[in-house]
Amino acid sequence: MANAGTDERAAKRPLSPHLTIFKPWLTMAMSMAHRITGAGLYIGMALMALFLLGSGVGGWLHALTGWLASGFIGGMIVFLITWAIFHHMLGGIRHALWDRGLYMDAQGRELLAQASLYGGVGLTVLLWVLKSLAG
């Protein structure tokens, strides 16, 4: 464990100046989006757990939680959850490729950042089109 002196010095030490000095590249935005979609999915899973619990129990609980997946707001919630799943999944695949030393050069990084951005949106649109065709 660090002693009191080190703690004091650690408190004064500047933090990594990531946001203030880096140019806002797409790769950086996608790194942040990976975190935000991850945290969003945590909340989304809580909302869907409530909706499912309402559907399982029925009655008054369903009356309370049914809006979470119906109407405009519920539809938006589920739509955003599916997008977050796809975006976060593609972000994970990006990390799996980087773990293997692939696509680590400037063009590769940019390509993967664009792929996760457009791929996430594309997969979401594809899912909802297929879902509406399936009935």
Q: Which is nearer to another protein, 106 or 134 (CB)?
A: 134
Lookup result for tokens 């063009």: 107
- Is residue 26 close enough to count as binding another protein by CB under 8 A? no
DSSP class of residue 101 equals: T
In the block, residue with structure tokens 């649109």: 125
Helix (H, G, I), strand (E, B) or coil at 70: coil
Under the criterion CB under 8 A, does residue 122 sit at the interface with another protein?
no
Q: Are 62 and 54 contacting, i.e. CB atoms less than 8 angstroms apart?
A: yes
Q: Are 30 and 113 in contact (CB under 8 A)?
A: yes
| Least distance in angstroms from the C-beta of 65 to another protein | 10
Q: What crossing angle do the helices spanning 106-134 and 71-99 adopt, rounded to 10°?
A: 140
- Binding pattern for the stretch 80-99 against another protein, x by CB under 8 A and - elsewhere: -xx--xx-xx--xx-xx--x
Q: At closest approach, how far in Å is the CB of 70 from another protein?
A: 5
Binding site for another protein (CB under 8 A): 35, 38-39, 41-42, 45-46, 48-58, 62, 69-71, 74-75, 78-79, 81-82, 85-86, 88-89, 92-93, 95-96, 99, 127-128, 131
